[in-house]
Amino acid sequence: MTDLTSLTIAEARDKLASKEFTSVDLTNAYLGAIDAANSVFNAFITVTPEIALDMAKASDARRAAGAAGALEGIPLGIKDLFATKGVHTQACSHILDGFKPEYESTVTQNLWDDGAVMLGKLNMDEFAMGSSNETSYYGPVVNPWKAEGSNQQLVPGGSSGGSAAAVAAHLCAGATATDTGGSIRQPAAFTGTVGIKPTYGRCSRWGTVAFASSLDQAGPIARDVRDAAIMLKSMASVDRKDTTSVDLPIPDYEKALGQSVKGMKIGIPKEYRVDGMPEDIEALWQKGIAFLKDAGAEIVDISLPHTKYALPAYYIVAPAEASSNLARYDGVRYGLRVDGKDISDMYEKTRAAGFGTEVKRRIMIGTYVLSAGYYDAYYLQAQKVRTLIKRDFELCFHAGVDAILTPATPSSAFGIADEALAADPVAMYLNDIFTVTVNMAGLPGIAVPAGLDKKGLPLGLQLIGKPFDEETLFRTAHVIEQAAGKFTPSKWW
């Protein structure tokens, strides 16, 4: 049988429908690929072969009975912070040691309801805090891409590093991920895959381990724009259990692909041209502009004046919300417990032993900025700046801009254990400079591969859209993808 793992979700969907092979065949192919290569990447931290095959058999039976769903029989990887009933769910943290939820997250339930198959749980930065997947309790993930002529192991980005690496290395047909400051878009850009963070409220957050509740949003990482559109349609839903989820119809996103972008206004924000931006990134941006111009779009210079304040505001708001969300990890009801002389001692020892360094850092910052005497100066100020950031976007959209084009990242994938980044937390935070604005404003954003840098590493462009206008993002990203082509790492493993 030809390599089934080389098929996209759309291709597999068609061939499963025409009975060229079964979901069991496809699932076995992926389980084989994971068995052969996962130790190289450390993308999956738990593989669920029995569950996968049970689900695949059930899927084949449903198909035989004429009841095939939108993702029938498609094997997916699931980021470790989605609650999967009876299966390891720890957000890659030691503090949730042994946690197996008795419930399923809404997003993954949606996928199973549409017939998908679960291959296992994917590696991530601990509690989604990180931009390189290096803060995971289970160790770093290796990017399937390597620089030309180099054997250096590179990061896949984060926090959804396992998701991005698994998709790029063909260890799953697609993967779920989440994005709080860029955790879908940045790893997608680092691995030559497509990742979309939908509008805040498009997907339910129920059953996803919370990091920053006003910023977190689930979304797919997939091999191309079509696959991402197919996955998002299944993942999205309004949910009574998440009052921030929005009750709006879910379009058939796939239909947006192939629609013309003639006459669309694409905004180019001058504030995204940062000091010291590598020329590869500027060249990529110009290339993207040319692609869209050639397709008939109108390029418009715009200004988003508060852009530079998004990252500092994020590093107040996100840690503040995290300090509140992570207060529940106290050794009482689930996860790790380290005994102490009294309950307070138990809390302190458990949390000290259970949380990694970056998580502790962010909890501390969050606690500090929310503490008496500092709340107004930091948290309140940041929330006001957030209103201004959102307003910048609203004014542009109101003036007729349909979508905004920016680079996705300030560089291509960097090396694992990079010393300069390890020494300075803020340097690592700068990786999110182009992506955090989108979470702060609650808007949808997609990262689409658009080229390679001088070292042969993938670079992505980001499109930012109006609330609940993911269709425009898919339409426009597809145009870029058609012009730029697809990028697959050459197999060294």
Question: Any idea what DSSP says for residue 179?
Answer: E
Binders of another protein among residues 104 to 123 (CB under 8 A) are none
Provide the minimum distance between the beta carbon of 90 and another protein in the complex, in angstroms, as a whole number.
11
Q: Tell me how crowded residue 281 is: count the other CB atoms within 10 A of its CB.
A: 24
| Binder of another protein out of 57, 94, 100, 455 (CB under 8 A) | 100
CB of 312 to another protein, least distance (A): 4
* 454-485 exposure pattern, b = at least 16 Cβ within 10 A, e = fewer: eebbbbbbbbbbbbbbbbbbbbbbbbbbeebe
Q: How far is residue 56's CA from residue 261's CA, in Å, rounded to a whole number?
A: 39
- Compute how many residues bind another protein; rule: CB under 8 A: 73
Interstrand relation of 174-179 and 217-222 (parallel, antiparallel or unpaired)? antiparallel
The distance of closest approach from Cβ of residue 461 to another protein in the complex, given in angstroms and rounded to an integer, is: 25
Q: What is the DSSP letter of 200?
A: T
For residue 186, list its beta bridge partners. none
Residue 83 vs 484, nearer CB to another protein: 83
Beta-carbon contacts of residue 448 (< 8 Å; ≥ 6 apart): 194, 225, 460, 461, 463, 477, 480, 481, 484
Order the strands of the 117-122 sheet from edge to edge. Answer: 44-47, 117-122, 75-79, 174-179, 217-222, 194-197, 445-452, 458-465, 403-407, 265-269, 298-302
Least distance from another protein to the Cβ atom of residue 114, Å: 24
User: Which CB atom, from 61 or from 377, has the smaller least distance to another protein?
Assistant: 377
According to the binding rule CB under 8 A, does residue 474 interact with another protein?
no
201 binds another protein (CB under 8 A): yes
Determine contact, residues 178/217, Cβ cutoff 8 Å. yes
Q: Which of 267, 331, 458, 489 is close enough to bind another protein by CB under 8 A?
A: 331
Whichever of 27 and 105 has its CB closer to another protein, that residue is 105
CB atoms within 10 A of CB 224: 21
The CA distance from 273 to 233, in Å, is 33
Residues 415-434 that bind another protein (CB under 8 A): 424-426, 429
Cα 91 from Cα 301, distance rounded (Å): 40
Task: Please pick, from the candidates 60, 227, 254, 330, the single residue that binds another protein as defined by CB under 8 A.
Answer: 330
- Interface residue with another protein among 371, 398, 399, 454 (CB under 8 A) is 371
398 binding another protein? (CB under 8 A): no
**Nearer CB in complex with another protein: 230/421:** 421
Q: Is 363 in the site for another protein (CB under 8 A)?
A: yes
Binding mask 267-286 for another protein (x = CB under 8 A): --------------------
Window 220-249: contact mask with another protein (x via CB under 8 A): --------------------x--xx-xx--
**Whose Cβ is closer to another protein: residue 262's or residue 333's?**
333
Q: Counting contacts by CB under 8 A, is residue 177 touching another protein? A: no
Q: Which residue lies nearer to another protein by CB, 43 or 81?
A: 81
Tell me if 106 sits within 8 A of 206, measured CB to CB: yes
Q: By CB under 8 A, what part of segment 80-99 binds another protein?
A: 98-99
Shortest spacing between CB 40 and another protein, in angstroms: 32
CB of 275 to another protein, least distance (A): 14
Distance separating alpha carbons of residues 77 and 54, to the nearest angstrom:
16
- Tell me the CA distances in angstroms from 355 to 17, 137, 331, 362, one per residue in order: 46, 9, 12, 11
- Residues serving a catalytic function are 79, 159, 183
